[in-house]
Amino acid sequence: MDTQVKPNEEHYRVLIVEDEQSIAEGLVDMCEYRGYKASWAPDGEKGLEGALSGNYDLVILDIMLPKMDGFTVCNKVREVNRELPIIMLSARNSDQDIIDGLALGADDYISKPFSVPQLFARIEAVLRRSRRNVDFENDLVLGDLTIHFREYLGVAADGREIPFTRKEIEILQYLNAHRKQTVSRQELLRDVWGYDNAESIDTRTVDIHVTKIRKKIEKVPGAPVYLLTQRGEGYMLRPNPDEEE
């Protein structure tokens, strides 16, 4: 498999990790039709090798794979590289599967059978977003937790360290820039995920990411004081809940 790519390659390189040959070949053809360069890895071990090679701009990762499942591949990639965009693709679409995939650092999750236009809308958005230079602010203090945006790390007063994914940090930074304002799901999909037609994107990824963030920043995630839900409107970050509105 040719994995050589120049640093300034004009075309994005996409690695498809999928054990079903017909699906993989279809995705390769569709990627190349849209101007991407695509390669196929038929199992988790080869997928992990390709993902860690530094030769790809995006990984489309199935969950049910021989030799190494997609969750394990995603986890091992994130131990080394927090920047490489990963979209998980699977017939397993229970809430827990989606939560598990996103908790490991996947950027998005798409269930089979999938809409080809929606899949490529997400691919294009993730690729655009990955090439933006995000100027992370230094810190965000939420009670006794200090979140260091640039390090993707939260440090509690007792010294306990809490790792964050890049997407979680991007969400927190965006909400912090609009603190004490309600931010809609569509706004987050447009400005954090980069989806141009956010209203047409059918995904629960925003809600699941917010749930994950609350488990890390709230003492009682089911009764949040920092990251609030404004019913029917969206979310609000309130770093200092005791301040007068």
Please tell me the distance from the alpha carbon of residue 90 to that of residue 100, in angstroms, as a whole number. 12
Question: Residue 6: what pLDDT?
Answer: 35
Task: Write down which residue in 130, 154, 183 finishes a domain.
Answer: 130
Residue 244 lies in a domain: no
Mean pLDDT across 135-156: 84
Same domain for 123 and 23: yes
Mean pLDDT across 163-191: 89
Is the model's pLDDT at 58 over the cut of 90?
yes
**What's the pTM value of the predicted model, to 2 decimals?**
0.71
Same domain for 125 and 25: yes
The parent domain of residue 183 ranges over 165-237
Same domain for 76 and 29: yes
User: Is 59:15 a contact under the CB 8 Å cutoff?
Assistant: yes
Residue 214 lies in a domain: yes
Same domain for 126 and 170: no
Residue 192 lies in a domain: yes
Same domain for 172 and 123: no
Cis omega (within 30 of 0) for bond into 7: no
Please give the backbone phi and psi of residue 147, each rounded to the nearest 5 degrees, phi first.
-100, 120
Q: Across-strand partners of 38?
A: 14
Is the model's pLDDT at 238 over the cut of 60?
yes
Please tell me the distance from the alpha carbon of residue 16 to that of residue 60, in angstroms, as a whole number. 5
Give the CATH number for residue 211.
Answer: 1.10.10.10
Residue 159 lies in a domain: no
Give percent above pLDDT 70 in the chain. 87
Token pair 């995904």 in the structure block, residue: 203
Lowest mean pLDDT among 29-33, 102-106, 127-131, 240-244: 240-244
Which of 111-125, 130-144, 183-197, 207-221: highest mean pLDDT? 207-221
Q: Would you place residue 135 in the very low, low, confident or very high pLDDT band (cuts 50, 70, 90)?
A: low
Same domain for 204 and 126: no
Domain count, the chain: 2
Residue 147 lies in a domain: no
Burial class for 93, CB neighbours closer than 10 Å (0-12, 13-18, 19+): exposed
CA distances from 235 to 58, 184, 205, 206, 228 (A): 29, 6, 14, 10, 6
Same domain for 174 and 100: no
Same domain for 111 and 173: no
User: Is 209:167 a contact under the CB 8 Å cutoff?
Assistant: yes
Same domain for 111 and 45: yes
Residue 160 lies in a domain: no
Which of 5-19, 188-202, 203-217: highest mean pLDDT? 203-217
Mean pLDDT across 164-185: 89
User: Is 234:207 a contact under the CB 8 Å cutoff?
Assistant: no
Same domain for 192 and 124: no
Residue 142 lies in a domain: no
Please tell me the distance from the alpha carbon of residue 126 to that of residue 131, in angstroms, as a whole number. 9
